[in-house]
Structure 1
Amino acid sequence: MPISEFLAGVRAKVGNDLLILPSATACVFDDQGRMLVALHKEQGDVWAPPGGIIEPDESPDDAVVREVREEIGLDIRVRGLIGAYGGPLYRASYANGDQVSFVMSVYGCVVAGGALSPDGIEIDEARWLSEPETVGLPMPAWAPAIILEGFAWWRASRDTRSPAA
């Protein structure tokens, strides 16, 4: 779903003016330690971890689970909060003129089920990539830092997790 009913209603009142939007992003890892990255159509064909805005009365961790299911077709399990981010790198302009500044909750996640199936609306393609494979991909300004921190979180979580976890 490209724009929620809630956000469409807000946009009807404020037009393309800058909005500060809470969002949730998933750094999803497979058993080989590769991260899921998606080709985002609405942001100009750039690669980034999947995610989206948090709807009214929705928790950030529920939002990230919903967004990945809607956009990618995977059910995920949230393993931990990587961090919260905002600032100039997290601003975006969309083709329709909408201006946004995201405040992003980023979560470390693993796959719990489903099948990799990009929706073709917001996401054209999704890939599992190692950290070196992400270098050089066209990305929004915020994505490289999030990807680096995501991989650091994954390495740290593997070091402290018991074999049964």
Structure 2
Amino acid sequence: MSDRRDYYRDPNAPRANSLVPGGSALIVDEHGAILMQRRSDSGNWSLPGGTMEIGETLEQCVVRETKEETGLDIEITGLLGIYTDPDHVIAYTDGEVRQEFNITYYGQVVGGELAVSDESTAVRYLNLGELDRLPVHDTVRLRLQHHAEGRARPFLG
């Protein structure tokens, strides 16, 4: 059973009561495949990332979370976009209902070894065609679409 439930553009979604800054890394290998993890809490494939801790920048958060979730050391190389859609809320079993707040960076691997964490059941590089057939939340699909479009400027939303 999942300890979270995502609602997206759902009129029956609970009202958000929390806003927590978070970030993700979009990392592409030499073949154009994207580093993804299968989340243990929802079963969806997602970009590595998480929420900020006091005393760190969002960039440091994304580097730390990527290491924790994938075993890889990365450096941030750019910005895909800012995603703060109030129509996307995440309800947790403890009563928190969090409005989406995610900044997705581009990153590149600089070290480490690919590994699964307790937050994921699988970690691997997948191409966009494979991801079309796998469970991926709509908000992550939007980020993947923005990447595939090769935008000259970050998405601001």
TM-score when scaled to structure 1? 0.76
Q: Which runs of 4+ in 1 moved over 6 A?
A: none
| Partner-residue secondary structure (3-state), 2:100 | strand
Contact 1:89 1:142 in 2 (8 A): no
- Map 1:109-120 → 2, pairs under 5 A: 109-119=107-117
1:152 counterpart residue number: 149
2:109 pairs with 1:137: no
1:94-133 correspondence runs (5 A): 94-119=92-117, 121-133=118-130
Q: 1:97 to 1:41 in 2, by over 3 A?
A: farther
The answer for unaligned runs of 5 or more in structure 2 is: 1-15, 153-157
In structure 1, stretches of 5+ residues that fail to align are 1-16, 157-165
Give identity over the alignment, percent.
30
Q: How many residues align?
A: 138
Q: CA deviation at 1:23?
A: 0.3
Q: Per the alignment, do residues 89 and 126 of structure 1 end up closer, same or farther by CA in structure 2, a change over 3 Å counting?
A: farther
Q: Which stretch shifts more, 29-38 or 92-101? A: 92-101
- Alpha-carbon distance in 1 for matches of 2:147, 2:121: 22
Q: Which amino acid aligns with 2:133?
A: G
Amino acid at match of 1:83: G
Residue 109 (structure 1) shift: 1.0
More displaced 10-residue stretch of structure 1: 84-93 or 22-31: 84-93
CA RMSD of aligned residues (A): 2.0
Matched, 1:36 2:69: no
Cα deviation, residue 28, structure 1 = 0.9
SS at 2:59 equivalent: helix
Higher-helix-fraction structure: 1
